[in-house]
Amino acid sequence: MQDRCPHRYAPLSLGRVVHGDKIQCIYHGLEFDAAGACTLNPHPPGNIPSRAVLKSYPIAEKHKAIWIWMGDREADTARIPDFSVLDNVPEIYTTKRDKMMIKANYELVVDNLLDLSHTCYLHEGILGNADTVDSEITIEHDGDDVIAGRHATNCVPPGMWAMLWPDHPERVDKFSRIRWMAPSTLRLFVGVCDPGKPFETGTGYHAIHMLTPETDRTTHYFFTASRFGVKTTDASLNREIQAKIAKMRRFAFEEQDAPVIEAQQLNIDGSDNQLDPINLSIDVGPVRYKRVLQKMLAAEA
């Protein structure tokens, strides 16, 4: 619901919920229902001005998130991206549902996430290492989804993966498969397994990234992870691993990704010229999703 009372513009979010499902404005007590209609003016003679209406947006709750339709299109719950990996997972195997604010356009964050190559440099030691640089990147399309994959064979497991697997072998295969679902949500299947073995025999997590643009230059970043192939039944160890995954991921995003992304944004904004970035082989994921996004934006325009 629009967070601005039509009377004197006080934020409705400062108000309170009354009679079960009405919002009462904190300032002079006008009350509004879920559709945004004013249902009560407590001041005599109590008439309700015709313009006392708030804009209200349809929402749906699914996969532990709230989805909102802010555009002109009809709300269609069938188009909510598939995050069923978050449904029915024991609490101990998922991490805190965390959130941060990024001072950059959401596309720079998508570029970062769909680019699996930066983990070897920016997240060196935690999420990637020198062993994982030289692995081929594959791209698939599934409808409008773009999926980037990377399979590093026979490498020393980077810190996060060693931590997840208490008796891990000395060398492992590391797999990553990240799916972009328009316009700004991503699901990463990432982990390690015995060299040459199927991914399913390994351990890792589904990493969830949900980006909600706030403005052209600010993005709400919601993230969590849900484990698969858990290698130990030790509950206290799993509790510890759960906390460490959450902490290491937050560290990687907040201390490593965000400063670079925000600095990129400043560089872009500070340039007088139309910028034309060079592309490397590793940019194929970002290039492909942007094409899909452009097509969708054009169709909507």
Which residues sit at the interface with Fe ion, rule CB under 5 A?
257
- 28 vs 247, which CB is nearer to ligand FES? 28
Is residue 227 a contact partner of residue 204, using CB atoms and an 8 Å limit?
Answer: yes
Q: How far is the CB of 26 from ligand FES (least distance, A)?
A: 7
- 33 vs 283, which CB is nearer to ligand FES? 33
Q: In what order do the strands lie in the sheet with 145-155?
A: 98-102, 218-228, 203-215, 185-193, 172-181, 145-155, 137-142
Q: How far apart are CA 66 and CA 69, in angstroms?
A: 10
Name residue 16's beta-bridge partners: 24
Q: How far is the CB of 40 from ligand FES (least distance, A)?
A: 10
Of 21-29, 60-68, 89-97, 194-202, which segment contacts ligand FES by CB under 6 A? Answer: 21-29
SS3 291: helix
Residue 5 interface partner, choices ligand FES, Fe ion, none, CB cut-off 5-8 Å depending on type: ligand FES
- 98 vs 144, which CB is nearer to Fe ion? 98
- Residue carrying structure tokens 């498969």: 177
Q: Is 197 in the site for ligand FES (CB under 6 A)?
A: no
Closest residue to Fe ion in the complex (CB): 257
Is residue 254 a contact partner of residue 100, using CB atoms and an 8 Å limit?
Answer: yes
Residue 257 is given by DSSP the state I
Which bin fits 216, alpha (ψ -120 to 50), beta or left (φ > 0)?
alpha
Q: How far is CA 10 from the centre of its chain?
A: 30
- 40 vs 75, which CB is nearer to ligand FES? 40
Residue 8 interface partner, choices ligand FES, Fe ion, none, CB cut-off 5-8 Å depending on type: ligand FES
- Which of the residues 23 through 52 are near ligand FES (CB under 6 A)? 25, 27-30
Q: How far apart are CA 240 and CA 216, in angstroms?
A: 38
Q: How far is the CB of 131 from Fe ion (least distance, A)?
A: 18
- 30 vs 192, which CB is nearer to ligand FES? 30
Q: How far apart are CA 132 and CA 139, in angstroms?
A: 17
Type and span of the H or E element at 221: strand 218-228
| Residue in 3, 8, 60, 169 binding ligand FES, rule: CB under 6 A | 8
Q: Which residues bind ligand FES (CB under 6 A)?
A: 5, 7-8, 10, 25, 27-30
